[in-house]
Every structure is written in C-alpha cells, then in structure tokens.
Amino acid sequence: MNETIRTQLNHRSIRKFKQDAVPQEIITQLVDVARHTATSNFMQSYSIIGISDKEKMTELSLICQQPYVAQASHIFLFVADQYRNEKIAESQGQETSVLQNMDRFMIAMTDASLAIQNVNVAAESLGLGTVFLGSVLNDAPAVVDLFNLPKMTFPILGLAVGYPDQEPQLKPRLPQSLMYFDNSYPDVLPLTEELAKYDNDVTQYYDLRDANTRVDSFTKQITDGMNRKMPKRLNVLKDIQAQGLIQE
C-alpha cells in the first residue's frame, strides 16, 4: 500500500466546495497529467475545455441539474475530438471518412475517459475534491452550443474540482466476486448469496446528498434506475450523429 493507492481507495465524490480558488499552476499541472495519459494509436483524439467563467458554470449547472456544479472552482469538460485530426489530415489532402465510424468514436471516448480519470487521481492526490459530471449528457446539444464545440467533437464527461467542504462516507462497492472473474465470464453470476450481503452493506451507507438518510439497497437502486428514462439522454446517439460522428 503506497500513498497513491491509499488516495485511490479513499475516493469519494465531493459536492460541496470551499470558496478558495484552485491556483492556475495546479490547473496547468492537471492538464499536463491529462496530456501524458495513454492514447489509442497515439492519436490523442480528445480535447479539454477548462471552465472558469462563472456564467458558463451556472449555465452548465442548469444543464446538469446539479447546483453544486456552479460552486466548483474549476470544471474540466472532456470532449471526444476527431475535429483536430480531421483538420490536420485535410491539410495534407487526405480523405477522412474513417473518422465517422463507431470504432473511431469509441477510441475518442476512451481517450477522453482515460485522461479524465488520470486528472482525477492527480487532483485527489493534491487534496482537491472532485465530482464527475456524467450529467453533461443530460442535454448534449446544449453543451455543444455553450462551449462552441465543432462538428466531429462530442462532450463525454465533466470533472468539477475545488477544495472540499464536506467529508462523505466511503461508499461500499460490489464485492470482487460479482465483478472480477478468472479467465472467463461465469455461466451464472453468484447473485443469490453475494448480492444480499452487499445490499445490506449499501443500506448502511448514509448519503450526504439526501439529508443523511439511509439509501436504498443496490438491488432497489438498479431496479428503480430502469425507469430513469430522461428523454434527451435517450436521444444521445442522434445527437452524436448530428455532430458528424457514427454515420452508419
């Protein structure tokens, strides 16, 4: 167990930040960490919008439907980006239609996702609090407009950072027996025996977001989540296609 892993095992989302601003030199260092993340075929198919403008933060918090988004010191918006590479290749007279394939979209998505997690680890190692914003996809076209995202790009995830002003409990995760499998996916998941114990663990966890009340079991959260159908999110494939990606 070293300090890096100690920080990683201690991860929790922070949704209340102090007023203190994160200094620019730390922002620059975090972007450097992103830059040094592994990238598929060295293509670096992602970009980052650094959001410090308070009006844009407020607009984004309305899209995310999360008031704490507006209270962060800084937000990193990670964007799948085939636009830059398209422009580079076009400058050489190269045809670029392969960029419109799902394969290249997945590559850009994983590039963006690996980089944002790398930034998250670095931020937490510096004592910053963070929360991922999958909610930027609540209304992707609005995010595209707000940040002037060109065709061949698409928002993937946001990361809000700031100095933490809360200490949430560590959230219990699925046991290894339900998510790590030796050499083959099992024919039958050990749901009966292992899940009941995990459900019980989860109900012991107090969720700061909800006035310190206990939360539902994992089984109930997953089951109820099937009815969480946000119309704009369910349209995301068409939104991606409207950006010129996944043309098939």
C-beta of 165 vs 177, nearer to a second copy: 177
- The window from 14-22, 25-33, 61-69, 161-169 that contacts a second copy (CB under 8 A) reads 25-33
248 contacts a second copy (rule: CB under 8 A): yes
58 contacts a second copy (rule: CB under 8 A): no
64 contacts a second copy (rule: CB under 8 A): no
137 contacts a second copy (rule: CB under 8 A): yes
Q: How far is the CB of 164 from a second copy (least distance, A)?
A: 15
Among 118, 166, 168, 244, which residue sits at the site for a second copy (rule: CB under 8 A)?
118
* Closest to 116 in 3D by CA, of 69, 77, 60: 77
Q: In a 3-state reduction of DSSP, which class is residue 160?
A: strand
Q: How far is the CB of 96 from a second copy (least distance, A)?
A: 5
Q: Tokens 């007279």 map to which residue?
A: 93
Segment 164-167 long-range contacts (CB within 8 Å, at least 24 positions apart): 164/14, 164/16, 164/17, 164/18, 164/127, 164/128, 164/129, 165/14, 165/16, 165/17, 165/18, 165/129, 166/14, 166/15, 166/16, 166/129, 166/208
> What dihedral do alpha carbons 221, 226, 232, 233 form, nearest 10°?
70
C-beta of 48 vs 71, nearer to a second copy: 48
C-beta of 8 vs 65, nearer to a second copy: 8
Segment 35-41 long-range contacts (CB within 8 Å, at least 24 positions apart): 35/115, 36/118, 37/111, 37/114, 37/115, 37/118, 38/114, 39/111, 39/114, 39/115, 40/107, 40/110, 40/111, 41/107
- The window from 14-22, 63-71, 160-168, 220-228 that contacts a second copy (CB under 8 A) reads 220-228
Q: In a 3-state reduction of DSSP, which class is residue 50?
A: strand
Report which residue type is found at 70. Answer: A
213 contacts a second copy (rule: CB under 8 A): no
Among 147, 203, 206, 242, which residue sits at the site for a second copy (rule: CB under 8 A)?
147
211 contacts a second copy (rule: CB under 8 A): no
Q: How far is the CB of 20 from a second copy (least distance, A)?
A: 19
C-beta of 16 vs 56, nearer to a second copy: 56
197 contacts a second copy (rule: CB under 8 A): no
For a second copy (CB under 8 A), the number of binding residues is 115
67 contacts a second copy (rule: CB under 8 A): no
> What dihedral do alpha carbons 34, 38, 43, 48 form, nearest 10°?
-20
Among 161, 195, 243, 245, which residue sits at the site for a second copy (rule: CB under 8 A)?
195
95 contacts a second copy (rule: CB under 8 A): yes
